[in-house]
Amino acid sequence: MRFRDWATRVLLIFMMLAALILAVLIGGLRQRQTDTSNVINQFNHTTLTTPAKLSSQYPQVRYQSATNTENKVKTIAQSPVKTNPLPTKYVTTQAFANYRPNYQRAVVHPSNYGDRYSQNFNGVSLNNQPIIVLHETSNSASSAINFFQTPHENENVQASYHTLIDLEGTVIYLVPPEKRAYGAANSVFEGTNGLETVQTNPNLPPSVNNFAYHVSLETPPDGRDNNMIQSHSGYTEAQYNSLAWLIAQSQVPDDRITTHRAVDRSGQRADPKSFDFDKFFKLLHSYRQLRPVNTASNQ
């Protein structure tokens, strides 16, 4: 056999082996990608989305929105309210019907809110009942909205509320109630069921965000730009009325309405400052009441 023929055969054999090895590697890579996709899909299927029954206990957005491109805020156009699938414990009153605040909707960037989870990061099922956490903006309402509309890739600075109430009492819907707003980072709620918190990210402290509805009041001018002050002139009558009106639409009981100051575990939050709980609860109780128990069938 001539050398040229021998070299040609060796080269052909080498090329066939190389093609076989390449095919095996490509097949393994595709299988690994498929397995990874299956794991991700399985995770998303089993851990995302809180049950609708729980989300319906939060205040609901009362109207659909129409775009106002001038100020990046969406003005609300009338449409029906979604029906609550759970038997209601609270019903609204005539005083609630008589109060008509202005309301708007502002679009929050998706990096600043997320899904509610039905399991924590360890796969343990979650059954926390909803809470409402009260905040203040520490600056103007427009400044807070601008921050929420700005993309934030750093998880440590992502933030949002579900709703914001400005000094004039305008209710500004931000994050839908079925979504998880990033209103309280390192936080724990202490109630009749003991300490409640949820860790959904192993790299971040646990928080109440997964079962909380966050609503914030616009800080008055004399309380802005200074996180060290412990009090200010307080909130307007319109803000208290709109806050009570908003929360009256929820099924969250009084003892699960709390503040950022109360749930915070970082030692850095003191809001809402100068908040008058007596005034707020008096208004809330005038806007909603416990549903009367029908005892006629027992007589």
pLDDT at 106 over 90: yes
Mean pLDDT computed over 191-197: 95
Q: DSSP for 81-124?
A: PPPPSSPPSEEE-HHHHH----EEEEPPPGGGEEE-BSB-TT--
Residue 125 in domain? yes
The pLDDT of residue 246 is 97
Residues 262 and 286 in one domain: yes
Query: What total of structural domains would you count in the chain?
Result: 2
Residue 237 in domain? yes
Q: What does the alpha-carbon distance between residue 218 and residue 144 come to, in Å, rounded to a whole number?
A: 9
Residue 298 in domain? no
pLDDT at 275 over 70: yes
Read off φ and ψ for residue 151, nearest 5 degrees: -65, 135
Q: What does the alpha-carbon distance between residue 219 and residue 168 come to, in Å, rounded to a whole number?
A: 12
The percent of residues above 70 in pLDDT, for the chain, comes to: 71
- Residue 208 has what DSSP assignment? S
Residue 145 in domain? yes
pLDDT tens per residue across span 28-56: 545 444 433 332 233 333 334 445 567 78
pLDDT at 82 over 80: no
Residues 175 and 43 in one domain: no
pLDDT at 133 over 90: yes
Strand, helix or coil for residue 164: strand
More confident residue, 90 or 226: 90
The pLDDT of residue 50 is 47
pLDDT at 88 over 50: yes
pLDDT at 105 over 70: yes
- Residue 2 has what DSSP assignment? -
Count the Cβ atoms, other than its own, within 10 Å of residue 216: 28
Strand, helix or coil for residue 187: strand
The pLDDT of residue 35 is 39
Residues 160 and 255 in one domain: yes
Residue 297 in domain? no
The pLDDT of residue 175 is 96
Mean pLDDT computed over 219-248: 93
Residues 167 and 60 in one domain: yes
69-83, 203-217, 239-253, 273-287: the lowest-pLDDT one: 69-83
Residues 38 and 150 in one domain: no
The dihedral through the CA atoms of 276, 281, 101, 110 has a sign that is positive
Strand, helix or coil for residue 73: strand
Residue 123 in domain? yes
The pLDDT of residue 120 is 93
More confident residue, 79 or 172: 172
Residues 115 and 263 in one domain: yes
Residues 25 and 147 in one domain: no
Residues 43 and 185 in one domain: no
Residues 283 and 144 in one domain: yes
The pLDDT of residue 249 is 95
Q: What does the alpha-carbon distance between residue 183 and residue 272 come to, in Å, rounded to a whole number?
A: 13
Residues 4 and 113 in one domain: no
pLDDT tens per residue across span 134-181: 999 999 999 999 999 999 999 989 999 999 999 999 999 999 999 999
| Average pLDDT value for the chain | 81
Whichever domain contains 162, its CATH number is 3.40.80.10
Strand, helix or coil for residue 28: helix
11-20, 110-119, 206-215, 237-246: the lowest-pLDDT one: 11-20
The pLDDT of residue 27 is 58
Q: What residues make up the domain containing 145?
A: 50-290
The pLDDT of residue 4 is 57
Residue 19 in domain? yes
Cα-trace Rg, the chain: 27
The pLDDT of residue 292 is 84
Residues 28 and 141 in one domain: no
Residues 140 and 59 in one domain: yes
